[in-house]
A and B are shown apart, each in its own frame.
Chain A
Amino acid sequence: MKDFKTIVLSNQEISPGYFRMKILAPGYSQLAQPGQFVMFRVQSSMQPLLRRPFGIFRVGFMAADCDEMAPKEFIEIIYKVVGSGTEIMKDLHSGDPVELLGPLGKGFDSGDPTEEKILVGGGIGLVPLYMLAEELVKKSKVRLLMGGRTRDDIITVTEFERLGVETYVSTEDGSLGEEGLVTQVLERKLDKYPNVTVFACGPMPMIEAVEKICTNRAVALQVSLEALMACGVGACLGCVVMGAEHSDDNPQYLCTCTQGPVFAADELDWNKNKVVATGCGGGCK
């Protein structure tokens, strides 16, 4: 992990309310693992005070300024404008200074290459699944089930298709793809392909529904969570979730930042974690 000042390369609205930011990020092609995140600082000011966590969408290279130089590494993050931090972020331009701390956290485990994979993304929760898909398609058949409230919440699906991922879109209002919840699509796919590993990221109600479906069918599940966090490195203990062994007498708190953000479903206490209600490893602050 690294902590450095860098610059924005581009920052564009890709769907109403959703922005995609490219940030110069030396070293990330070697360091970043699928499912990891960065702590992003807008500027050296007191407002907003804290950094914001964002899942890494992808790592890429761009041509250097002259032929002799090595290509420049960048990361892309995708965020939804929902608060004071993202309000400031959306107005950043190419060349604006920002700070990155990362890559942080424990990412996805790619699992058994002979097994087929199903990715379930809800809205901005799709973000950390892209790097995972890049990795998984090298060895396994990968299907993406992408859900949102309206067509505006369906982002970057064509990029998954270009990787060779089979994609299925659903929206609650039927404005794009199948009308209904992504979890209905998941049940149908699991009827057809029962021996898979599922990877999910999205709003907490979606993650909870996915967990119930997978547990009932004994399907392996990994989830990426988001939590309010101040430091990102395991010091503030603000971002904890309750582990499977948790009880009032014998509490087990896991740090989303260092022990997650990706957890195997059986590591967590699904009855108690409802209070967290901040699923969505994509970075929705």
Chain B
Amino acid sequence: MSKHVEKILRPKLAVEIAGIKLKNPIMPASGTFGYGEEYAPYLDLNQLGAVVTKGMSLNPKAGNNTPRICETVSGMLNAIGLQNVGVDAFIEKKMVFLQQYDTPVIVNFFGNTQEEYGEVAARLDDVPGVAALEMNISCPNVKHGGIVFGTDPGAASAVISLVRKKTTKPLIVKLTPNVTDIQVTARAAEESGADALSLINTLTGMAVDVKTRKPRLANTIGGLSGPAIRPIAVRMVHQVVQAVDIPVIGIGGITRAMDALEFLIVGAKAVQVGTANFVDPKVMATIIADLETFCCEEGISDINDLIGSLEL
């Protein structure tokens, strides 16, 4: 850049999504950060923009058989099967831990039927400390799970409309990338009452052990995450930002500040960091510090000035 850049000492990193104030645009992706307590020994949860919990279902869920994960080129496949303690145990046991932090808690949830989605949302509605709900209509891991809703705009609309009636909390709908045109589902979610969208969930994938000739996951098919999927995620966030007026949270293979910036520049208001947490438990703190440094050096006084600043 040839123009003179004025150095900024304390850039503003705070952003707002659907009325939730975040200290910065960095939060974990559901399923990669447990219930928060798993990572508290390594990272001050107060530093984060928000905490996003593991996906909750109405009843406790055991998950899939093993092997549940395998490493692939610059990524990993998982078919955990949405193992979780169930929404009631979460409210009773896990939420207490998170309530001690001054960080918004976004609770991810899913259901096997429309009614289950509605019931989980209703039970979370009056829980103190829950800042927003993130609705998983897209997890590709569960045979009777989100895939039906997230890949069919009609089914997505119906379940989102129902959940919308059951909750007063801001509702973030997490989209699946496993569709032909993500703008169609994005519009359907917006029209059905979503306050924000988050994307992308994992891409369905498969790997084979050539010696045993068996799939490397017990579930055969799993969800691909990690740096390998980032260009696809950036493209889809870019397309969705064009299609809707509600805020978008970018997810997909973010491991450093430069990756997060790509999503912000194409128009994401915030981002979620997923697989990278497994590799480096402190990665989100590093990303936040490096975002601040980037803004200082580039003369950006408010990170909101960067959001959607893509030059075409």
Chain A interface residues (CB < 8 Å from chain B) = 1, 3, 41, 46-51, 99, 101, 227-231, 233-241, 251, 253, 275-276, 278
Contacts and interface: CB of A to CB of B under 8 A. Distances in A.
Given A233-B38, A234-B34, A238-B80, A253 B62 contact: yes
Nearest to B66: A276
A251 to B, nearest CB: 3
Nearest to A236: B278
A240 B38 contact: no
A31 B278 CA distance: 22
26 contacts: A3-B282, A41-B279, A46-B227, A47-B73, A47-B74, A48-B71, A50-B76, A50-B278, A99-B280, A228-B67, A228-B68, A230-B275, A230-B278, A231-B32, A231-B278, A231-B281, A233-B41, A235-B32, A235-B38, A235-B39, A237-B83, A238-B68, A240-B83, A253-B83, A275-B65, A275-B66
B24 interface: no
Contact of B71 (A50, A235, A253, A275): A50
Contacts of A240: 63, 66, 68, 83
Given A1-B41, A235-B32, A236-B32, A49 B66 contact: no
Contact of B69 (A101, A230, A251, A275): A230
B218 interface: yes
A51 B277 CA distance: 11
A234 B75 CA distance: 19
Contacts of B80: 236-238
A31 to B, nearest CB: 12
A238 B76 CA distance: 11
Most buried by B among A50, A235, A275: A235
Contacts of A46: 74, 226-227, 255
A54 to B, nearest CB: 16
A1 B78 CA distance: 26
A185 B226 CA distance: 46
Contacts of B62: 251, 253
A-B pairs, top 6 by smallest CB distance, nearest first, are: A251-B62, A238-B69, A235-B34, A230-B278, A231-B278, A235-B38
B41 to A, nearest CB: 6
Contacts of B278: 50-51, 230-231, 235-236
B287 to A, nearest CB: 14
B226 to A, nearest CB: 6
B33 interface: yes
B91 interface: no
Interface string B160-203: 00000000000000000000000000000000000000000000
A229 B63 CA distance: 15
Given A46-B74, A50-B71, A231-B281, 11 more contacts: A46-B255, A49-B71, A49-B275, A228-B69, A231-B278, A233-B38, A233-B39, A233-B41, A235-B277, A238-B66, A275-B218
Interface in B65-115: 65-71, 73-76, 78, 80, 83
Given A236-B69, A275-B66, A49 B74 contact: yes
Nearest to A248: B62
A253 B63 contact: yes
A141 to B, nearest CB: 37
Contacts of A234: 34, 38
Contacts of B71: 48-50
Contacts of B31: 236
Contacts of A101: 281
A251 B62 CA distance: 6
B307 to A, nearest CB: 26
Interface in B32-72: 32-34, 38-39, 41-42, 62-63, 65-71
B38 A49 contact: no
Contacts of B281: 3, 101, 231, 233
B70 A235 contact: no
A1 B279 CA distance: 15
Interface in B226-251: 226-227
A218 to B, nearest CB: 29
Contacts of A233: 34, 38-39, 41-42, 281
B74 A3 contact: no
